[in-house]
């Protein structure tokens, strides 16, 4: 039912922060989608995730750039360290020691350290992986836009269907109102019974009540559409377009593309995950390689027993060098990391096969559902036309005195039921069309 579909949309909608500005928007479907891309919370957050991934790439690149740090230190030796020196150095008794204090009370050091990574296999692979991670975030952003696109389409079509149902009810109420006036006139002139008027009055009142329900349903559907596109709830949204503008492709034109799974974002995401797992395996293997780094440091040392004279003299120190790290044995940790990475890669390849199968199944299923919904829509449209014709004939027979009022009320009831069935079939066809377009990869952002 349409109400159940609306409640389903409520559970998946996102309510943005309200603003004080009341604005009126008049949007087509495409304008609704473009508005959602700029205001829907999930899309905005996915875009932020892209920027986070870009910052992570730059962070990884920074590991291979020169690392520079400065340092400064001040020391006040409240007690200067004492060392024991053999006494015989000073002419004392051999075998004894004389306590001697070296150094001064105040010491200070300032310096700068520089290091540069020259070679590290893990860093090179990590740099490749960071770029692939950025690609993954970009595809995740595309997936979010596709999901938003689908949700907006369904909410938009619900509003169009509710408008269509309201138009049908208005037309029905108008013709029933005319019939009610005629029957009242006949009753006043003795050509129709009071019960005939009462029966039509009941039908007329029911249609008025249903129209009010549809109006409330239409208002709720409009709110759901605003939620889906990220529009503040106090804004006014006018939906442009009608059902007639929607191209419900005939089932004969639905051709299944056996390679359509390649255009699905889920397939691309899985491929990117495989690439990440391959790089992960490569990274663990690179840990067997040595790493080489250059370093250098320079410092000034200041010493004095008087604080006021501490920085009068400085003693420079400069050192440069290379550091080579060669892995020899790590308790088979690297070998087991490589084994785990190989198994993860195998799992991701299995997942790719499963994704391909599930997408192909989804395409076939959605195509079958769309064909069935189009057949049902055509059938319900024919029933609606038939119900209108039956009502027309019943009214003529009644007016000519060869039919009963019961036939007219029954035809009117059948018309109302046919309209409801048509509306439900129409919405199902529209939803299944969106599902088929999504499954076949036609909605790509």
What does 163-189 look like in DSSP terms, one character per residue?
HHHHHHHHHHHHHHHHHHHHHHHHHHT
Question: Above 80 in pLDDT, residue 10?
Answer: no
Contact predicate 398/408, CB 8 Å = yes
Q: What percent of the chain has pLDDT over 70?
A: 93
Dist. CA 400–CA 218, nearest whole Å: 40
For position 83, what pLDDT does the model report?
85
**Does residue 195 belong to any structural domain of this protein?**
yes
Question: pLDDT grade, residue 338 (50/70/90)?
Answer: very high
Residues 65-82 have pLDDT tens digits of 999 999 999 998 888 888
- For 305-319, write each residue's pLDDT tens digit: 888 888 888 889 999
pLDDT of residue 89: 80
Mean pLDDT of the chain: 88
Inter-residue contact 112 to 298 (CB < 8 Å): yes
- What is the distance between the alpha carbons of residues 45 and 91, in angstroms, rounded to a whole number? 81
Query: Does the pLDDT value for residue 17 go beyond 50?
Result: no
Whether 297 has a pLDDT exceeding 90, the answer reads: yes
What pLDDT was estimated at residue 139? 93
Task: Determine, yes or no, domain membership for 12.
Answer: no
- Euclidean distance between CA atoms 337 and 284, whole angstroms: 6
Is pLDDT at 282 greater than 70 in this prediction?
A: yes
Quote the pLDDT of residue 22: 66
Query: How far from the centroid of its chain's Cα atoms is residue 123's Cα?
Result: 31
- Using the predicted structure, report yes or no on whether residue 12 has a pLDDT greater than 60: no
In this structure, the number of other CB atoms found within 10 A of the CB of residue 189 comes to 8
Instruction: Tell me, yes or no, whether 233 lies in a domain.
Output: yes
What pTM was estimated for this model as a whole? 0.82
Query: Quick one: pLDDT at residue 249?
Result: 66
- Whether residue 286 lies inside any domain: the answer is yes
Pairwise CA distance, residues 409 & 132, whole Å: 68
> Which SS3 state, helix, strand or coil, does residue 64 take?
coil
Q: Rounded to an integer, what distance in angstroms lies between the CA atom of residue 419 and that of residue 380?
A: 8
Q: Total domain count for the chain? A: 1
Tell me the backbone φ, ψ of residue 397, rounded to 5 degrees.
-60, -40
pLDDT computed for residue 7 by the predictor: 47
pLDDT (tens digit per residue) in 370-417: 999 999 999 999 999 999 999 999 988 887 878 788 888 899 899 999
CA angle 374, 379, 382 (to 5 degrees): 125
CATH number at residue 250: 1.20.1600.10
Residues ≥6 apart with Cβ < 8 Å to 328: none
Give the pLDDT of residue 254.
62
Mean pLDDT across the stretch 211-217?
93
Distance CA 212, CA 228 (A): 24
Q: Is 220 helix (H, G, I), strand (E, B) or coil?
A: helix
Helix (H) or strand (E) holding 112: strand 106-119
Which residues constitute the domain of residue 254?
Answer: 24-68+118-292+333-440
pLDDT in tens, 246-269: 888 665 556 667 788 888 999 999
Answer whether residue 445 is part of any domain: no
Residue for token pair 């057949």: 375
Name residue, tokens 């020899």: 328
Indicate the Cα dihedral angle 170, 175, 181, 185, nearest 10°.
Answer: 180
> What span, in angstroms and rounded, lies between the C-alpha atoms of 56 and 48?
12
Is 407 a domain residue? yes
- Provide the token pair at 197: 């008027």
Write b or e for each residue in 57-77: b if 16 or more Cβ atoms lie within 10 A of its Cβ, otherwise e: beebeeebeeeeeeeeeeeee
Confidence tier at 275 by pLDDT (50, 70, 90): very high
Q: What is the DSSP letter of 234?
A: T
Inter-residue contact 355 to 270 (CB < 8 Å): yes
The residue-averaged pLDDT of 132-139 equals 92
User: Within a 10 A sphere around the Cβ of 195, how many other Cβ atoms?
Assistant: 11
Token code pair at residue 282: 């490569």
- The pLDDT of 16-43, averaged and rounded, is 82
Note whether residue 149 is domain-resident: yes
* Mean pLDDT on 181-193: 85
- Whether residue 301 is contained in a domain is answered as no
Q: In Å, how far from its chain's centre is CA 224?
A: 18
Looking at the predicted structure, is the pLDDT value of residue 363 above 70?
yes
Nearest Cα to 260, choosing from 153, 158, 360?
360
Lowest mean pLDDT among 108-122, 165-179, 241-255, 386-400: 241-255
Q: Quick one: pLDDT band at residue 183, thresholds 50, 70, 90?
A: confident
Whole-number pLDDT of residue 373? 94
Which pLDDT score, from 0 to 100, does residue 438 have? 92
% of the chain at pLDDT higher than 90: 59
| 223-247 residue pLDDT tens | 999 999 999 989 999 999 888 888 8
């Amino acid at each position: 039912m349409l109400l159940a579909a609306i409640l389903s949309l409520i559970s998946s909608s996102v309510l943005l922060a309200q603003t004080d500005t009341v604005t009126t928007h008049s949007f087509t479907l495409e304008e609704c989608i473009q508005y959602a891309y700029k205001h829907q919370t999930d899309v905005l957050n996915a875009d932020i995730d892209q920027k986070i991934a870009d910052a992570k790439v730059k962070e990884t690149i920074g590991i291979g750039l020169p690392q520079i740090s400065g340092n400064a230190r001040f020391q006040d030796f409240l007690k200067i360290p004492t060392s024991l020196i053999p006494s015989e150095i000073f002419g004392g008794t051999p075998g004894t020691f004389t306590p001697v204090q070296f150094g001064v009370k105040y010491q200070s050091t300032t310096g700068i350290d520089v290091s540069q990574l020259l070679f590290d296999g893990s860093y090179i692979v990590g740099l490749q992986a960071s770029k692939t991670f950025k690609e993954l975030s970009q595809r995740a952003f595309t997936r979010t836009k596709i999901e938003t696109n689908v949700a907006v389409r369904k909410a938009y079509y619900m509003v169009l269907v509710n408008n269509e149902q309201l138009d049908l009810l208005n037309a029905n109420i108008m013709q029933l109102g005319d019939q009610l006036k005629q029957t009242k006139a006949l009753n006043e002139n003795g050509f129709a019974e009071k019960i005939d008027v009462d029966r039509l009055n009941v039908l007329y009142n029911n249609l008025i009540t249903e129209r009010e329900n549809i109006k409330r349903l239409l208002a709720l559907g409009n709110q759901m559409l605003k939620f889906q596109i990220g529009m503040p709830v106090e804004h006014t949204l006018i939906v442009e377009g009608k059902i007639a503008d929607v191209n419900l492709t005939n089932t004969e034109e639905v051709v299944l593309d056996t390679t359509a799974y390649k255009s699905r974002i889920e397939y691309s995401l899985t491929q990117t995950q495989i690439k990440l797992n391959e790089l992960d395996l490569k990274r663990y293997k690179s840990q067997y390689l040595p790493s080489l780094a250059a370093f250098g440091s320079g410092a000034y040392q200041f010493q004095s027993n008087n604080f006021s004279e501490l920085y009068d003299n400085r003693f420079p120190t400069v050192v440069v060098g290379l550091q080579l790290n060669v892995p020899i044995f790590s308790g088979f940790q690297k070998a087991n990391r490589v084994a785990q990475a190989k198994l993860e890669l195998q799992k991701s390849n299995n997942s790719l096969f499963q994704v391909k199968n599930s997408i192909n199944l989804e395409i076939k299923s959605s195509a079958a559902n769309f064909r069935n919904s189009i057949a049902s829509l055509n059938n319900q449209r024919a029933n609606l036309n038939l119900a209108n014709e039956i009502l027309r004939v019943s009214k003529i027979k009644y007016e000519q005195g060869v039919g009963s009022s019961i036939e007219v009320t029954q035809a009117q009831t059948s018309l109302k039921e046919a309209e409801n069935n048509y509306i439900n079939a129409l919405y199902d066809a529209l939803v299944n069309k969106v599902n088929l377009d999504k499954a076949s990869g036609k909605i790509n952002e």
